[in-house]
Amino acid sequence: MRLRFNLRPDQLFATVLCCLLLLLQGGFEPVEGFLDQQSEKMISYISFQPYPQVIAPNYSVLDDPFTNVSARSYLIIDPDSATILKSRNLFLPLHPASTVKLMTALVAFDTYELDQVLAAESAQNALGNKVGFTRGAAISVKDLLAAILVNSGNDAAEILANNHPEGYQGFIDQMNQKATQLSMHQTSFANPTGIDDYRQLTTSWDLSILAREILKNPLLSELISTKTFQIKDQLTGYQYNLYNTNQLLHQLDQIKGMKTGTTVYAQQVLVSLWQEEDHSLLIVVMGSLDRYADTLELIEWIKENVVWIEQQ
């Protein structure tokens, strides 16, 4: 089948002129996007400018030494000084998946008392990974924080959001306000779980900011490194066993957390805290085909190339 376009001479002239002007100004600007499966249309988002206080290279595929790393974006950063050791597309907005729950935990910690008990009724229809709270269950905020950071329970995240004093949307608004306060300039949240939403985007750099904020909180930094945990229903005493979703946490002593994430649009996401002796680094991989293999590849680079020098 051949397509024909019937343009008047003036329309053709205007079209050619516009194309020439675009070429003179540097051509068309590439825009990252994803395919919305329901509408079968390409939904695009604007690529933000890098955070001005950080200068770090964005490696192209040809320049990047990590040919075995599948992640669309990665970052190795010193959490204490915010020094970037290695990166790929660290300012590229991507879907965060369940790493969103790091912000959910911060907002919940700011909103509730740890011993406050919340009704689990609002989480019965939660999508994705769940703890599986029974109808009528009542769970303390501290246990709900464990449920989202250890087990990545979407039902626990929904409970925390739905019980917010200003309602569910009030919780989401507070998540976005917190992101602004932390200078996460390329981040927007649309739900507390990480379920795919075209409005919900972040970057490896912004996730590193969020991770560093988590490390300032003694309880939350303990939960992200917890392998197994047990919580209970405050009404019936029924106990739920939580098992951390981060495979590397169970395999390597040097891994101390922090959060996994997997969805269709996000692919595989992993924020890791790597510690050896008195030194630690944050490793973020986003848009990965194998987050664990990618992270191990970056850890090998750390072992071979990074040396800490004590200041006199």
Q: Can you give the pLDDT at residue 17? A: 52
**What is the number of residues in the chain?**
312
Q: Can you give the pLDDT at residue 276? A: 87
158, 122 Cβ separation under 8 angstroms? yes
Name the helix (H) or strand (E) containing 268: strand 267-276
- The string of pLDDT tens digits covering residues 21-60 is 444 433 332 223 333 333 223 222 223 333 323 333 343 3
77, 208 Cβ separation under 8 angstroms? yes
Q: Can you give the pLDDT at residue 16? A: 54
Query: Is 230 strand, coil or helix?
Result: strand
Q: Can you give the pLDDT at residue 176? A: 98
User: DSSP secondary-structure letter at 26?
Assistant: T
Whether pLDDT at 9 is above 80: no
Mean pLDDT (whole number) for 217-243? 96
Whether pLDDT at 101 is above 80: yes
Domains belonging to the chain, first-starting first, are 73-305 (3.40.710.10)
More confident residue, 209 or 306: 209
pTM equals 0.79
Under the banding of pLDDT at 50, 70 and 90, the label for residue 125 is confident
- The string of pLDDT tens digits covering residues 175-202 is 999 999 999 999 999 999 999 999 999 9
Mean pLDDT (whole number) for 306-310? 82
Q: Can you give the pLDDT at residue 56? A: 35
Q: Can you give the pLDDT at residue 14? A: 55
Under the banding of pLDDT at 50, 70 and 90, the label for residue 135 is confident
Name the helix (H) or strand (E) containing 88: strand 84-88
Buried (b) or exposed (e) across 89-128, using 16+ Cβ within 10 A? bbbbbbbbbbbbbbbbbbbbbebbeeeebbebebbeebeb
What's the mean per-residue pLDDT of the chain? Answer: 83
- The alpha-helical segments, DSSP class H, found in the chain are 9-24, 101-111, 141-149, 154-162, 167-181, 204-215, 218-223, 247-251, 291-305
